């Protein structure tokens, strides 16, 4: 899976718009995805980049994957997407059980052409995508699929130095489900409100766009970011969605642990 390969949705285009919606870590949460897509549409944004983990944990992997295939211009491979394709590595028992259930759903729901389209799409996803000074990954610039970069890592100078030496200018990522900006001054800036704006100042930064389907920063609302390539700003958006409906679906699915529903309600 080369870094120069990228998937386009039916309506997706690459690098043509002023504003791009950056979404990540949907995790089979269709209610959250629909709410975010509605918000994107209301802002007349037509370009959507997905930074991975379409599936995993949540009760609607097929619906989420089918929708992303249709709407995303660029999609990056996430570690849960990869786990659906290959033998999972390093997953805890709850996540591992969800991986196996997700595989069964992707394989059994729909006609043969639909099922084949899903597997073909996942199998061709790139691990990175670069567009000028903007790099898009799921995990980190050093390990695009699997490495976590947490806010507290700003105190790990060796790790921060290793990451920033690999960044030309801006790296957009997900994976931790915690939105915010790592600056070249080794600070982490957390969004403080729904429309928090970060100015891209010409200094390297790592921007975590947060999670659509499973936020873990104490705010249960879906999170995504908007990149404005003319104004050179990133705006973080928080969107209400009926997380109780998603949680109820999880509770009613024996192969998904109830804690996956509980955590949606506390944003953890």
| pLDDT tens-digit series, residues 50-82 | 999 999 999 999 999 999 999 999 999 999 999
The CA distances from residue 127 to 14, 117, 224, in Å, are 16, 19, 20
Please report the pLDDT score of residue 89 as a whole number.
81
Please report the pLDDT score of residue 90 as a whole number.
85
Q: How many helices (H) and strands (E) does the chain have?
A: 8, 12
Q: Please give the average per-residue pLDDT across 243-264, as a whole number.
A: 97
Please report the pLDDT score of residue 18 as a whole number.
85
Please report the pLDDT score of residue 16 as a whole number.
58
| CB neighbourhood size of 123 (10 A) | 13
Q: What is the pLDDT of residues 218-229, one digit of tens each?
A: 999 999 999 999
Band (1; pLDDT cuts 50, 70, 90): very low
The CA distances from residue 254 to 59, 244, 250, in Å, are 11, 17, 8
Q: What is the pLDDT of residues 193-207, one digit of tens each?
A: 778 999 998 999 999
- The secondary element (H helix, E strand) that includes residue 108 is helix 93-108
Band (14; pLDDT cuts 50, 70, 90): low
Q: What proportion of the chain, given as a percentage, has pLDDT over 70?
A: 94
Q: Which residues of 164-177 are buried (b: 16+ CB within 10 A; e: fewer)?
A: beebeebbbbbbbb
CA within 13 Å, CB half, 184: 14
Decide: 139 and 90 in contact? Cβ < 8 Å.
no
Return d(Cα 91, Cα 88) in angstroms, integer: 7
Domain 19-266: CATH class, spelled out: alpha beta
Q: Please give the average per-residue pLDDT across 40-58, as a whole number.
A: 96
- The secondary element (H helix, E strand) that includes residue 118 is helix 112-123
How many residues are recorded in the chain?
268
C-alpha 33: how far from its chain's center?
Answer: 11
To the nearest whole number, what is the mean pLDDT of the chain? 92
């Amino acid at each position: 899976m080369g870094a120069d390969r990228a998937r386009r949705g039916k309506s997706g285009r690459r690098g043509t718009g002023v504003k791009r919606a950056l979404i990540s870590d949907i995790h089979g949460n269709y209610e959250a995805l629909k709410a975010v897509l509605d918000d994107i549409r209301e802002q007349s944004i037509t370009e959507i980049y997905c930074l991975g983990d379409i599936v995993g944990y949540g009760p609607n992997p097929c619906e989420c994957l089918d929708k992303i295939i249709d709407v995303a211009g660029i999609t990056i491979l996430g570690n849960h997407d990869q786990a659906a394709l290959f033998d999972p590595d390093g997953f805890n028992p709850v996540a591992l059980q969800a991986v196996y259930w997700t595989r069964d759903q992707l394989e059994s729901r729909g006609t043969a052409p639909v099922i084949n389209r899903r597997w073909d799409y996942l199998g061709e996803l790139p691990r990175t995508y670069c567009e000028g000074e903007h790099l898009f990954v799921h995990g980190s610039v050093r390990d695009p699929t699997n490495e976590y970069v947490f806010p507290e890592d700003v105190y790990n100078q060796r790790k921060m130095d290793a990451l920033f030496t690999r960044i030309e200018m801006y790296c957009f990522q997900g994976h931790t489900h915690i939105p915010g900006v790592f600056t070249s001054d080794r600070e982490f800036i957390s969004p403080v409100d729904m429309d928090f704006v970060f100015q891209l100042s010409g200094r390297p930064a790592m921007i975590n766009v947060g999670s659509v389907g499973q936020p873990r920063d104490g705010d249960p609302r879906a999170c995504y970011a908007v990149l404005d390539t003319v104004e050179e700003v990133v705006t973080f958006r928080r969107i209400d969605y009926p997380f109780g409906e998603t949680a109820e679906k999880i509770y009613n699915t024996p192969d998904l642990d109830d804690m996956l529903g509980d955590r949606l309600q506390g944003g953890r």
